[in-house]
Amino acid sequence: MADLSMTPDDLDTFLTEERVLRLATLDEEGWPAVVPLWFVWHAEAIWVWNLTRARRTRRMEEGTRCAFTVDAGHDYGELRGASGRLDYAFVDDAEVPVEVRAAFSAKYLGSDEPLQPADHHQWVRMVPTTLRTWDFRRLGS
């Protein structure tokens, strides 16, 4: 059976270019609650500019488990992605690397200026503790 996993370089490129991450937390009844989020991949971590009033924020503050998926492709032979469990921490604005702010601003806002703090958002740094990747484009090679 062919190895369909991404190389580390492929994963870096993939997570840098893709625009939507689906974050799963556990709701109050123990069910998965999945939301799409914008993100930046930097220094082997996922950075999310998180809305402070979102339900996921409260769940994360209470210590919920988190998992994610980022995937792409239309036809079967194009499917690729990454998925896994996450450790996460809220990060004070002053501690967020300027590279993260600049990458977020360029990726989603089309601006050269690093993203500025906002009262209704807080940065979350998420590090995959388990990681599975796949790239069905490898089936043809």
* Bridge partners of residue 23, in order along the sequence: 35, 68
Reading the block at residue 77, the tokens are 């032979």
Which is nearest to 39 in space by CA: 115, 95, 134?
A: 115
**Angle in degrees, CA 94, 122, 48, rounded to 5:** 100
* pLDDT band at 141; cut points 50, 70, 90: low
Pairing between β-strand 66-72 and β-strand 80-91 as defined by DSSP bridges: antiparallel
**Average per-residue pLDDT for the chain:** 96
d(CA 39, CA 107): 9
The model's pTM is 0.94
d(CA 12, CA 10): 5
Output Rg (C-alpha) for the chain, integer angstroms.
16
Which is nearest to 135 in space by CA: 86, 85, 70?
A: 70
- Which domains, and CATH codes, for the chain? 8-140 (2.30.110.10)
- Count of H helices and E strands in the chain? 3, 8
Question: What does the pLDDT look like over 23-56, one tens digit per residue?
Answer: 999 999 999 999 999 999 999 999 999 999 999 9
